[in-house]
Amino acid sequence: MDIDSSEDFQKIDVANKATRQIGLVRKDCLEQGIVDVETVAEAYHAVKLDQAKTGIWCYDNFTEGGSNSSGLVRSSAHLGTKECIIWPINHYLALNRHPKVVDAAIDAIRTFGTGCGTSAMSGGHSSLHKLAEKRLADWMGKEEAILFPTGYSANVGAISALAKGPSCFILFDRECHASIIDGVKLSGAKFLPFRHNDADDLNRKLEKYAASYENVLVVVESVYSMTGEEACLREIVDLKHRHNFLLFVDEAHSFGLHSDRTLCNKLGVTENVDFVMTTLSKSTASIGGVVATTPAFKTLMQVEANAYLFQASIPPSDVAAILAAMDVIEMEPQLLTSLWSKVGYMRGKLKGIGFDTGEGTSPIIPVFVRDSDTLLKMGQAMYEDGIFTTSVAYPVVKHSEVRFRFILNESHTYDQIDRTLDVMEKLGRKFGVI
């Protein structure tokens, strides 16, 4: 169907389709009183087609040969296929290509087959899954761990089970990942966000509300996915001396990246964190989510987290990849040293050129653009120059905070970093970002 000639779509005024942020389409529709879902879908699709035509549609591009530090990338915006340096992938240690990890996954398929066929509670786990839970619990400094099929479902499942119903109250950092917020909404608990990484604001909200609830859960990330900033975990843990709450920390962007395995361990706060969660799709280059905690809380989640009860478990090959990745992290500590040197180098250079990279220290490096049109146009120019990265736009972040996000992994070479910096400097000047 030719969307632009659709009768319904003619009724909707989506200004400047070619540069309109796709995230605003729903708002445009609502403002015009349009709630019919087919019409809203057509409006979304029309913006996507228009942006694809002009080349600024920057989503859903894909690699021809899987994730790597460089390779052929196919644009879904009619920009063709391009040899690119690849920056959107969270495989911090590039273990998806490590021969030991690849061999372990292949061997596991031969022994355990593909897929699990059912959830853990009804017999979907194998001895590999049990081994992984034990080893993850150990790394995360807790007695037990519970393995979910993804990081997303771990947060949704765990949070909705731990703070069930209106006698519970959840306080979460305003910049928490969507999986945390979805878990909060599903829980049926009362909830409030607190100011980003602001322990004083959290303290004020605990003082005002905590006493009125049976259970209070505080949820934060150890490192925030959109900025790469570390959470003020010590200050948050200190609040436990004054208030009675359970603390849940999502270590998606720090797990396996420190010699102590987690940021909670590195900061010496694990004992005061009730739930240490991570996804296994990043440093361990597989899939899965895990929550490490006490045996009793594990049992509660086994029985009450629908994402655990009613979702097939991770395939054995992916569990084998997790275990092999943990072996490699233990046996090749130089990977961590090398990653962190590259992080220091790239962050320092980007700052030196004049880019605003925020306050973070992690391998997630944001480059703030702060103007949505510039973000789309500069993103297109970057792709044309062989740099493939993520444009983080509204509604994921506020309009004033739109940015590119570079995710460094250990297999990025200094040559690739330098070439990226050259392109960024050239385009940053052209588009007035620096």
Residues found near ligand PLP in the complex (CB under 6 A): 150-152, 155, 177, 179, 221, 225, 250, 252, 279, 281, 289
CA 433 to CA 374: how far, in whole Å? 8
Instruction: Give the residue from 253, 267, 184, 200 showing the smallest Cα distance to 224.
Output: 253
H or E element: which one contains 276? strand 275-279
Residue for token pair 């983080």: 392
Tokens of 348: 């320092």
Note whether 180 and 136 are within 8 A (CB): no
Residue 365: how many CA atoms within 13 Å on its side-chain side? 25
**Residue 299 dihedral angles phi and psi, to the nearest 5°:** -60, -45
Shorter beta-carbon distance to ligand PLP: residue 311 or 357: 311
Residue with CB nearest ligand PLP? 151
- From the CB of 373, what's the least distance to ligand PLP, in Å? 26
Note whether 358 and 366 are within 8 A (CB): yes
Shorter beta-carbon distance to ligand PLP: residue 152 or 388: 152
- From the CB of 416, what's the least distance to ligand PLP, in Å? 23
Shorter beta-carbon distance to ligand PLP: residue 289 or 363: 289
Shorter beta-carbon distance to ligand PLP: residue 312 or 434: 312
Q: What is the DSSP string of 315-333?
A: PHHHHHHHHHHHHHHHH-T
Shorter beta-carbon distance to ligand PLP: residue 39 or 281: 281
- From the CB of 208, what's the least distance to ligand PLP, in Å? 27
Note whether 405 and 224 are within 8 A (CB): no
The beta-strand segments (E) located in 310-425 are: 364-368, 387-388, 390-392, 403-407
Residue for token pair 């297109």: 380
Shorter beta-carbon distance to ligand PLP: residue 12 or 132: 132
- From the CB of 279, what's the least distance to ligand PLP, in Å? 3
Note whether 227 and 359 are within 8 A (CB): yes
Beta bridge partners of 404: 367, 391
Shorter beta-carbon distance to ligand PLP: residue 51 or 390: 390
- From the CB of 11, what's the least distance to ligand PLP, in Å? 37
- From the CB of 95, what's the least distance to ligand PLP, in Å? 14
Q: How many residues belong to the chain?
A: 434
Shorter beta-carbon distance to ligand PLP: residue 155 or 293: 155
Note whether 9 and 34 are within 8 A (CB): no
- From the CB of 261, what's the least distance to ligand PLP, in Å? 17
Residue 144: how many CA atoms within 13 Å on its side-chain side? 11
AA letter at 75? S
Shorter beta-carbon distance to ligand PLP: residue 9 or 152: 152
- From the CB of 60, what's the least distance to ligand PLP, in Å? 16
Residue for token pair 């900033």: 229
Check residue 35 and report its DSSP letter.
Answer: -
- From the CB of 246, what's the least distance to ligand PLP, in Å? 18
